[in-house]
Chains A and B, each alone.
Chain A
Amino acid sequence: MRRVVITGIGVVAPGRPGTKEFWSLLTDGRTATRAITLFDASGFRSRIAAEADFDPQESGLTAEQAGRLDRAAQFAVVSAREALADSGLAGSYDATRTGVTLGSALGCTTGLDAQYGVVSEQGTRTLVDHTKAVPHLYDYFVPSSMAAEVARTVGAQGPVALVSTGCTSGLDAVGHAVDLVREGSADVMVTGAAEAPITPITAACFDAIRATSTRNDEPETASRPFDRTRNGFVLGEGSAVLVIEEYEHARARGAHLYAEISGFASRSNAYHMTGLRPDGIEMAAAITAALAEAELEPGDIDYVNAHGSGTKQNDKHETEAFKRSLGQRAYEVPVSSIKSMIGHSLGAIGALEVAACALAIEHDTVPPTANLHEPDPACDLDYTPLTARRQRTDAVLTVGSGFGGFQSAMILTSPPLKADR
């Protein structure tokens, strides 16, 4: 079986863009959640979010790109460039053996929301005026445009697609890329996810199902996964893009290896579009299958990066899934949710979490769960409260759970040569 390694990382996360900024935010246990500035959120139940301090031109995009690309696509292009530069691959790869899989749950929702206001003349006509639309409205309409933009950015001529499985999109996109490399359809994949959902339409629908936190007076501590006082997730945004390669391909060119992706699996709960089965059986099944693919035992896992959205239901569901799949190890291994710091960026978060896991292996450091002061008795594992931990980190489990019933799990392990570096 061909093995797959991560050789480049690019990130646009809440706070300042860049992988370094992202990792320092996480390991400091700082939070990037705040009162929403991207639109006037007065009148909404939840008025807080984790926003990226992102300036397209400062991040290297042209004025033309800034005007044409949806905010999510901008994140993706900037992250892809950083990842490609970080990988050292530029100019030295076979474009026909290089592909792109990008995840996004909602696609170009920022652009669609704003454009609807324009063509409907602020909601005064349902037979919308198409002549008022921007010429690139079709690209917002079909979000594979985002994957295409990344593919053109990196010059990929192999398989390219957008993966859209709700909040597991990011994890599933990376998992898909791993499959493509393993089966031999590509040697290099530029893969990750992007989401820019801090818009009125998204805020409104999460208000309607009361999924988002209403702790509007304390935005910086509102995302409280596993805490007794948690009351919903905090919307986030951003992107992470990885360069992954077939191991021999990376080794031959002397690439820096962050981690190996050694197992991935996905299951569906076939239960409810938004609800979770309390027993966590599908997430547990995905974890078990991912461990089997990685040929690891629960006892090998050094860190669990949780979905940890901070909704009442999720955190309990997930705790059950960890116990069911990891047994006694669930009580011993450090678990944490970086959503406590960067919010929940829906389809993007899974890729941001894979990036965090690769960095945890790289730096032998487990990021904490911020804002966890009063553990929920129903969530009785070690969630690494408040402070990052330095510890040897060779095998990491990360999981995701999405609307539509998708449950996914991925195992990252130390790169084969970590011991030597």
Chain B
Amino acid sequence: MTTVLAAPTAAPSPGASRTAAPVVTGIGVAAPNGLGTEAWWSAVLRGRSGIRPVSRFDASGYPVKLAGEVPGFVDAEHVSSRLMPQTDRVTRLSLAAAKEALDDAGADPAQLPEHAAGVVTANSFGGFEFGQQELQALWSKGGQHVSAYQSFAWFYAVNSGQISIKHGLRGASGVLVSEQAGGLDAMAHARRQIRKGAELVVTGGIDSALCPWGWAAYLAGGGLTDGEDPARAYLPFAEDASGHVAGEGGALLVLEGAEEARRRGARVHGVLAGHAATFDADGASRLGAAAELALADAGVHPDEIDVVFADAAGERGADRAEAEALAALFGPYGVPVTAPKSMTGRLAAGGAALDVAAALLTLRDQLIPPTTGTELPAEEYRLDLVTGAPAPATGLPLRTALVLARGRGGFNSAVVIRAADA
């Protein structure tokens, strides 16, 4: 046998490998301040927060009582009767966002070559509320009371699986978990599939674990603010930041090969131009390194970045680390920074995915959404933080955005988004 010595060069079917950066052609959103892309985006531009007292369970006995809950989600409008008994809320939100994104893209996966479309999502908790219900059945009544659907409804792959079935997406698919960094890592993995020959990938992240069992885990994790005034609880980069608020939701996007999108005349929201991920193995933050590597991957100089969507932990130490990374890369007050997640809370895998959606619409509307709650960033951070009202472009148009995310445990991820015509 001689072939084993040959260096592999061929790309897998279908299609050929390609290097042009893929484009976003569809956006679907389920956020605490709006269900559906337009409802959410208009709330974001008006600075309307979705942080409220928890209503999905009785949180009165717990030390933290605020959350970002997706409002007005009527399950039956998004999920068939057959799927209802076998899906957690996170999967229902995911199915709704995936449909919105595919509709927005105007893409019909059935028209694509076989195995050319896939799903790559990030997730952090699986179907945790469903899991609580079944763990409760197990512990209170015994193993024979556990649902047959538990075998998949609570696992991390459930959203990718159900979306692929619903829309007949039979190409390469995947599921990544890197906590808050996951939404960006999933998009990078989707881009990888497109480079390897896929034409369309539904990607992004949605999370939801607003149930008592999820709350116990959040509380054990720490980092949540115990503030009870929704408008003053989660204050990224503020002097008196006291932690974050947990929320549910996120965004799913349709990512397509640039050539395929152009050929079918698709409206392009923007370009996924670069990505990098790093890890803090020894305690020192490598968020800045992720940002730098992402810029290099995109072939973009720091001067070309028009806006940064920050990870915005809302905790002094982590906020300082992020501010230092930004100052090192862009100079003090060197670039407008914003954190619309101040209106939703931190959504785990959904958070950075939603920030990418926000970045795309920022470039479309030429308006940077504000950070709410925080009135002034701590002086020492030397940040040009957009607060109060949306900031229009000053001078040249907004063409390029950097989105940052950090996952608990040391994960850093960064994505560069370019305007469609940039």
Contact = CB atoms under 8 A, between A and B. Distances in A.
A binds B: yes
Interface stretch (A50-58, A84-92, A282-290): A282-290
Interface majority SS on A: helix, strand, loop or mixed?
mixed
B10 A295 contact: yes
A142 B221 CA distance: 10
Interface stretch (A64-72, A258-266, A321-329, A330-338): A258-266
A164 B279 contact: no
Q: Which of B150, B214, B409 has the most CB of A within 10 A?
A: B409
A343 to B, nearest CB: 16
A38 interface: no
B213 to A, nearest CB: 6
Given A269-B170, A402-B157, A200 B138 contact: yes
Interface string A75-101: 000000000000000000001100110
A229 interface: no
A180 to B, nearest CB: 9
Interface string A272-300: 11100000001001001110111111001
Interface majority SS on B: helix, strand, loop or mixed?
mixed
A265 B278 contact: no
Interface in A120-144: 120, 122-124, 126-130, 133-144
A141 B281 contact: no
A193 to B, nearest CB: 13
Given A274-B152, A404-B158, A163 B174 contact: yes
B72 interface: no
Contacts of A254: none
B85 to A, nearest CB: 13
A155 B279 CA distance: 9
Nearest to A117: B139
Interface residues on B, range: 35 or more
A340 interface: no
Interface string A377-421: 000000000000000001100000011111000000110100000
A265 B195 CA distance: 13
Interface in B69-90: 86
Contacts of B4: 260, 262, 296, 300, 394-395, 413-414
Interface of B: 1, 3-13, 57-58, 61-62, 86, 114-115, 118-119, 123-126, 128, 131-132, 134-136, 138-144, 146-148, 150-152, 155-158, 160-162, 164-165, 167-179, 181-182, 185, 189, 192, 195-196, 209, 212-222, 276-282, 286, 289, 348, 407-411
Given A1-B9, A130-B216, A267-B170, 15 more contacts: A43-B143, A113-B135, A126-B132, A126-B136, A126-B212, A143-B177, A148-B410, A151-B279, A157-B289, A159-B279, A207-B144, A208-B148, A282-B115, A403-B152, A404-B164
28 contacts: A1-B7, A100-B279, A107-B177, A122-B139, A123-B135, A130-B62, A133-B220, A137-B217, A137-B221, A138-B220, A138-B221, A142-B125, A144-B407, A145-B408, A148-B411, A166-B161, A203-B143, A205-B150, A208-B148, A266-B173, A266-B174, A268-B119, A270-B164, A270-B167, A271-B165, A289-B12, A394-B1, A403-B151
Closest 4 A-B residue pairs measured CB to CB?
A: A123-B139, A404-B161, A138-B221, A123-B140
